[in-house]
Amino acid sequence: MKLSHIEHIGIAVKNLKEAISYYEKILGLTCYAIEEVKDQKVKTAFFKVGQTKLELLESTSPDGPVAKFIEKRGEGIHHLAFAVEGIEDSLQEAEQKGIRLIDHKPRKGAEGLDIGFIHPKSTFGVLTEFCEDNN
């Protein structure tokens, strides 16, 4: 498995607009994209800090994963996403080593990346995402 860098950190928020304002007005970052990922029931806002991105996540539905996360655990860091080379093989390799996957095959996420999630119960409590830019 080859991880190159932290692609992004996902942060669950109740109100995207209010959170964007904090990152822009207080931290001086610029929101460069807002995108809805229907499949995941989220609206996302992206910022760059060096080569790492921050992805703010607001749920678009009360039964979405981010709404459930906030209800149970409150706002905060939701997942950690690594850039990998060969996402399909990396997911398979993790599974073969006994790790519980959420996605057995990559699917399309925000920014057109191929993504796959690993279950937090297998990763010491951190919802982990693999990403690969195959565009």
* Least distance from ligand CMX to the Cβ atom of residue 48, Å: 16
The two tokens of residue 120 are 């937090």
Spell out, one character per residue from 70 to 99, where the chain touches ligand CMX: x when CB under 6 A holds, - when not. --xx----xx--------------------
Q: Which of 42, 59, 114 is nearest to 82 (CA)?
A: 114
Dist CA 93 CA 97 (whole Å): 6
> Of 6, 78, 9, which Cα lies nearest the Cα of 46?
9
Residue 109 near ligand CMX by CB under 6 A:
yes
Distance CA 25, CA 133 (A): 30
Task: Answer yes or no whether residue 101 interacts with ligand CMX by CB under 6 A.
Answer: no
- Residues 23-62 touching ligand CMX, rule: CB under 6 A, are 37, 40, 42, 44, 55, 57
Q: Is 131 one of the binding residues for ligand CMX (CB under 6 A)? A: no
CA distance 92 to 106: 10
Least distance in angstroms from the C-beta of 40 to ligand CMX: 4
Cβ neighbours of 125 (radius 10 Å): 7
Q: Which residues of the shown chain bind ligand CMX in the complex (CB under 6 A)?
A: 10, 37, 40, 42, 44, 55, 57, 65-66, 68-69, 72-73, 78-79, 102, 109-110, 117, 119-120, 125, 127
